[in-house]
Structure 1
Amino acid sequence: MQDQHWGQTISADIVVIGGGTAGIGFAASLLKRDPHLNVTVIEPSAQHYYQPAWTLVGGGAHELKNTVRPMAAVMPRQAHWVQAAVSSVDPENRLLTLDDGRSVSYQNLIVCPGLRLAWEKIEGLQEALGQHGVTSNYSYRHAAYTWQLVKGLRGGKAIFTQPAVPIKCAGAPQKALYLSCDHWLRHGVLKHVDVEFNLAGAALFGVATFVAPLMKYIEKYRARLAFNSNLVKVDGPAQTAWFEVRDAAGTVTLQAKKFDLLHVVPPQVSPDFIRQSSLADAAGWCEVDVHSLQHVRYPDVFALGDVCSTSNAKTAAAVRKQIVVVAENVLALRKQQPLPLKYDGYGSCPLTVEKGKVILAEFGYAGKLLPTFPLEPTVARRSAWFLKATLLPWFYWNGMLKGREWLTRVSKVD
């Protein structure tokens, strides 16, 4: 296959790297604005996943099979799909190199490959996942195993972890804890389960407004919080996890903890081909202006989704608004007009604090609250559960991936 393509160059107009939420949603929205545009999407995977529902799968509230569809079924009809992975980016020459030996030249580049789950950064984790009580809702292969473990646990030690941010949906690690504890509470076994949440950081949630209401659930479920505690090693057969724990003086010690259930969230990094390119900032993320989402050094390049250097929450809800900003700004750039729209850092984290209730945390840059609905945002509501569990999955497949923009009001440049 590689020999067949080696040395070929594809000349493309607008190139989108990534066929995830950001890539497909953006391509669909752009083509809805102008169906005659020449849009090429580069994506190696044959499957497309709705990842926000994996937390629900792990809590027994969603079917795993409903979170995946063939990539060909969600790819916009007018887009040209190149099923390959990008190996390198040369923005000076507007050229991409693919893993099958082909090159792609472009006029405008939209960077949205997502991030990479770095399972290998935790020693022994890859060997342990899916057995010995070790699981993760961040994996399509293991979200259902989470629910299997939760249902089967009648007592013992349950440990939930959260690595250093940035990560996809920073609320997801504790969503796993809440839905598990809610199940154990309803079935009368929570009093026999020692629940511990190990966070690499020093706060339960990044936006202070939501800490107090979340603490009420931590207390309700009798969960212990271990701050500045980062998972570094797992021994599945021995059901032991090791954490690097930092004290107030900055001293780091290694602590071993036994478990019966271990829900792991892996460290997350920028893809190698971005991190190793001149598109990257010092931390490896694609460096864009926080409002226009245009690259700070290469004006023909924009980025959206999890790969961005922006400080917003890395969620599908953030992408929903970023799509509109980038689509309008790219079209303006191509007409040599000023960029009209700016992104305010909006992100949403529907915190599933119990089965049937959600605290809908919506916020922008600097933790500014940006509620969509005129309701007190810190209250857990059944309506927000309906939004998270029923309405948003339906809209994702039938709206967002088809270029329909719902609740996407964004600001114009002053």
Structure 2
Amino acid sequence: MNRRLPGTISQCQKLLLATHNHAPTAFSTRFLSTSRVNRERQECQVLVVGGGTGGCAMAAKLSSRLGSDKVVVLEPEDKHYYQPMFTLIGGGMKRLDQSHRQMADVLPTKAKWVKEKALEFDPDNNTVSTSGGKTIKYDFLIIATGLQLNYGKIPGLVEALETPDSNVCSIYSPKYVDHVYECLRRTNKGNAIFTFPNCPIKCAGAPQKIAYISEHYFRKMGRRDNVNIIYNTSLPVIFGVKHYAEALMKLIKRRNITLNVQRNLVEVRHKDNIAVFEDLAKPGVHYEETYSMLHVTPPMSTPDVVANCKKLVTPTGFVDVDQLTLQHNKYSNVFAIGDSASSPNSKTAAAAAAQSPVVFKNVMAAIEGKAPTDIYDGYSSCPIVTGYSSCILAEFDYNLTPVETFPLDQSKERYSMFFMKKELMPVLYWKLMMNGYWNGPALMRKIFSVLKFNKKQ
């Protein structure tokens, strides 16, 4: 195990203390002059790599506890996106400018923001090198890099997405999400195909959400009889949790949506409006399907800089952490939160919210020289929007057991769940989650459970 004693004063800090409140000597003048010139090396108590949902939540919690300039956030982007809104943007229910804030306004003021990319992790020496030529030395590291979108892994897809008159679209990137609604508006007949790739992805419910929203759109516009909705998923089932899968299968049948399982998109020929799929149950067997609209969920992976550090990751490229404590299995001063962690939960913002108090408490325990004891149960939530006024709120744990917050059957389509998804969750995200105050609905679930118990007595 790679351990560093918490609270150790660095040589740099000792030199600064030695010169504090004294007139500059020749030595101190030389030292201060050198420190101004040599800005390539920085030190911090906690380094958070990634300014997404998990990264911002951890930066807020830790900087509030540890104080100013103890936490460094390494993040190159100017904007922070609330990605769960992208399905609503695709359906024309929200605008792209409503989905983001400036990164400078989201990150906590007590944390230091280094607006650069991570280039290399060196966990043996507790350092991360950056695109700006810096080497950041940390006592503790939290990896919150999320997943990268690998559109280029499907031949013909990037060209199709970047061709304005192409009816190929994707809700997953802010670069392409506006085009989804444009495709909906100009599709009058033919096959509207929606895909799910053969790999772990963030928000695994989103590919079918946009399919259900699109189906409802065509009904509203009076085009449904002329448009065939096809959902091609690489998975063997529509949804991993049986309780919700049964409800979704009824919905698919009721709405006359064609479901093809174990079918993976491998090529797009946009000039001919043809999508090529491989039958995963029969490797090597391919199907060519003609489309009028094609919505693609891209293959995803952890960022290359994470996957390339073999000491930190599993063979599949995810940060190798204990699924309960989210502490690294080899390096005790390394933790992960969110989509880049190897924990086998569904990758959602709700999962990151539930993980955040666990990672926070376990990091604080490690700083104090104690073993981590807080446990993450795999909680995740997926509000499956089924149209312009309905939603199924799926909540479950590692065992794929429903863990429902509200005292009602959440497998049913409800307007109340839709309103919560569309109007309340964004406010909760920006006001509470980004400030480190939202830990998921566990407390709310306990309150409802007590009320339900008392009612029975």
TM-score for the superposition, normalised by structure 1: 0.95
TM alignment of 1:7-18, pairs within 5 A: 8-18=40-50
Counterpart contact for 2:170–2:297, Cα < 8 Å: yes
Output the CA distance in 1 between the equivalents of 2:264 and 2:430. 36
1:174 aligned to which of 208, 211, 220: 208
Corresponding residue number in structure 1 for 2:74: 42
Cα distance, 1:287 vs. partner? 0.5
1:21 aligned to which of 53, 69, 78: 53
Output the CA distance in 1 between the equivalents of 2:414 and 2:442. 24
Corresponding letter in the other structure for 1:123: P
Corresponding residue number in structure 2 for 1:296: 329
TM alignment of 1:7-86, pairs within 5 A: 8-36=40-68, 38-86=70-118
Corresponding residue number in structure 1 for 2:172: 138
Counterpart contact for 1:190–1:221, Cα < 8 Å: no
Output the CA distance in 2 between the equivalents of 1:6 and 1:239. 56
Corresponding residue number in structure 2 for 1:164: 198
Corresponding residue number in structure 2 for 1:372: 405
Residues 207, 324 of structure 1: CA spacing in aligned structure 2 closer, same or farther, 3 A cutoff? Answer: same
Matched position secondary structure for 1:302:
strand
| Larger displacement relative to structure 2 (207-216 or 358-367) | 207-216
1:227 and 2:255 matched? no
Q: Which sections of structure 1, spanning at least 5 residues, go unmatched?
A: none
Looking at secondary structure, tell me which structure has more helix per residue.
2
TM alignment of 1:235-250, pairs within 5 A: 235-247=269-281, 250=282
2:387 aligned to which of 354, 364, 369: 354
2:431 aligned to which of 382, 389, 398: 398
Output the CA distance in 2 between the equivalents of 1:365 and 1:272. 27
Corresponding letter in the other structure for 1:222: N
Cα distance, 1:67 vs. partner? 0.5
Output the CA distance in 1 between the equivalents of 2:150 and 2:38. 30
Cα distance, 1:337 vs. partner? 2.4
Give CA-to-partner distance per residue, 1:170-219, whole Å, 9 cap, x none: 10000010000011112221111011111112111111211111112212
Cα distance, 1:406 vs. partner? 5.1
2:245 aligned to which of 191, 197, 211: 211
Cα distance, 1:370 vs. partner? 1.1
Cα distance, 1:338 vs. partner? 3.2
1:255 aligned to which of 279, 287, 291: 287
Corresponding residue number in structure 2 for 1:267: 299
Output the CA distance in 2 between the equivalents of 1:50 and 1:115. 15
Taking only the aligned residue pairs, the percentage that are identical comes to 37
Q: Which sections of structure 2, spanning at least 5 residues, go unmatched?
A: 1-35, 444-457
Output the CA distance in 1 between the equivalents of 2:240 and 2:231. 16
Corresponding residue number in structure 2 for 1:307: 340
Matched position secondary structure for 2:362:
helix
Counterpart contact for 2:357–2:439, Cα < 8 Å: no
1:386 aligned to which of 419, 423, 439: 419
Output the CA distance in 1 between the equivalents of 2:307 and 2:384. 31
Residues 5, 312 of structure 1: CA spacing in aligned structure 2 closer, same or farther, 3 A cutoff? Answer: farther
Aligned pairs, number: 406
Counterpart contact for 1:6–1:101, Cα < 8 Å: no
Give CA-to-partner distance per residue, 1:129-169, whole Å, 9 cap, x none: 05310000001122221112112222111110000231001
Question: Bigger radius of gyration, 1 or 2?
Answer: 2
2:154 aligned to which of 111, 122, 125: 122
Cα distance, 1:251 vs. partner? 3.8
Cα distance, 1:6 vs. partner? 8.9
Corresponding letter in the other structure for 1:189: R
Output the CA distance in 2 between the equivalents of 1:76 and 1:296. 29
Counterpart contact for 1:159–1:195, Cα < 8 Å: yes
Output the CA distance in 1 between the equivalents of 2:37 and 2:320. 31
Corresponding residue number in structure 2 for 1:110: 142
Output the CA distance in 2 between the equivalents of 1:407 and 1:243. 38
Corresponding letter in the other structure for 1:362: E
Corresponding residue number in structure 1 for 2:452: none
Residues 408, 121 of structure 1: CA spacing in aligned structure 2 closer, same or farther, 3 A cutoff? Answer: same
Counterpart contact for 2:69–2:112, Cα < 8 Å: no
Output the CA distance in 1 between the equivalents of 2:274 and 2:37. 47
Counterpart contact for 1:6–1:102, Cα < 8 Å: no
Corresponding letter in the other structure for 2:194: F
| Larger displacement relative to structure 2 (236-245 or 385-394) | 236-245
Corresponding letter in the other structure for 1:244: E
Matched position secondary structure for 1:76:
coil
Counterpart contact for 2:149–2:300, Cα < 8 Å: yes
| Larger displacement relative to structure 2 (300-309 or 376-385) | 376-385
Cα distance, 1:404 vs. partner? 1.4
Residues 332, 409 of structure 1: CA spacing in aligned structure 2 closer, same or farther, 3 A cutoff? Answer: farther
Corresponding letter in the other structure for 2:185: K
Corresponding letter in the other structure for 2:422: A
Give CA-to-partner distance per residue, 1:389-412, whole Å, 9 cap, x none: 0001111111110121254548xx
Matched position secondary structure for 2:371:
coil
Matched position secondary structure for 2:399:
helix
CA RMSD of aligned residues (A): 1.8
Corresponding letter in the other structure for 1:359: I
Output the CA distance in 2 between the equivalents of 1:341 and 1:182. 43
